Amino acid sequence: MTGPFAGRTAIVTGASRGIGLAVAERLVAGGGRVVITGRNQDALDEAVAHLGGTAHAAGVAGKADDTAHQDATVARALEMFGSIDLLVNNAGINPTYGPMVDLDLGAARKTVEVNCIAALAWVQKVHRAWMGEHGGAIVNISSVSSIRTAPGIGFYGATKAMLNSITELLAVELGPAIRVNAVAPAVVKTRFAEKLYDGREAEAARGYPLKRLGEPEDVAGTVAFLLSDDAAWITGQTVVIDGGVTLTAAGE
């Protein structure tokens, strides 16, 4: 196959649907191979078939913060495709909604574990297995709530702010052979974000200068760019993908 990702293999976490699957689609369309993760093997099997089958993709079920699952995914990528050139840390959780002062601290710890520590663990795993010797590119999926206060999901935003900082530090530590960037989407129409717009999409989009919410493909295009050689001089950045909402009062 030819394309910007020909001969390259990516691990994309949380990719049985939504943004992760859209990213995987872009990478495969560009000639790459992908190993995708998620909680449900049946959903992953459907996604692999959608991506063109086992010549192009594999799915490994497990929890993003499970060390054994991380090891199994890395091993599968090397066994099937021989390299791990790209990593997209897309898996994330937001188990609570409400004022931070009332936040269950157990849920808070779990959110940090998945959104921050697991993302770092995936980087460590692929670095030791392949990228440390061969180089590569990494993109972390953050959120506009990391750069703007977001009442109700404030702690989720705080974990994504930490992910932005991790992105910057890794970019400094791992350059020049490995580039590390992040993207920060506003509301994207996925099952993960459904409660933020379900039944009131027009109202939710009213404050966006582009007058619509995001689609998974809107994020996937930017992620693919950051992983590609077209972004060869970009590292340590968090790219906002928000339909312009952070420019308005609605984004404050």
Q: What is the mean pLDDT of residues 193-197?
A: 75
How does residue 192 score in pLDDT terms, banded at 50, 70 and 90? confident
pLDDT at 212 over 50: yes
SS3 annotation, the chain: CCCCCCCCEEEECCCCCHHHHHHHHHHHHCCCEEEEEECCHHHHHHHHHHCCCCCCEEEEECCCCCHHHHHHHHHHHHHHHCCCCEEEECCCCCCCCCCHHHCCHHHHHHHHHHHHHHHHHHHHHHHHHHHHHHCEEEEEECCHHHCCCCCCCHHHHHHHHHHHHHHHHHHHHHCCCEEEEEEEECCECCCCCHHHCCCCHHHHHCCCCCCCCECHHHHHHHHHHHHCHHHCCCCCCEEEECCCHHHCHHHC
- What local confidence, expressed as pLDDT, does residue 250 receive? 56
pLDDT at 205 over 70: yes
Q: Indicate the fold that domain 9-251 takes in CATH.
A: Rossmann fold (3.40.50)
Give the mean pLDDT of the chain.
95
- What local confidence, expressed as pLDDT, does residue 163 receive? 98
pLDDT at 1 over 80: no
pLDDT at 188 over 50: yes
The percentage of residues in the chain with a pLDDT greater than 70, rounded to a whole number, is: 98
Q: What is the mean pLDDT of residues 145-161?
A: 95
Active site residues per annotation = 156
- What local confidence, expressed as pLDDT, does residue 47 receive? 98
How does residue 252 score in pLDDT terms, banded at 50, 70 and 90? very low
- For 47-76, write each residue's pLDDT tens digit: 999 999 999 999 999 999 999 999 999 999
pLDDT at 78 over 50: yes
- What local confidence, expressed as pLDDT, does residue 54 receive? 98
Distance CA 112, CA 76 (A): 26
Least confident of 111-125, 141-155, 197-211, 232-246: 197-211
- Predicted TM-score (pTM) of the model is 0.95
Residue ranges per domain, the chain? 9-251
- What local confidence, expressed as pLDDT, does residue 211 receive? 94
The percentage of residues in the chain with a pLDDT greater than 90, rounded to a whole number, is: 90
Q: What is the mean pLDDT of residues 12-27?
A: 98
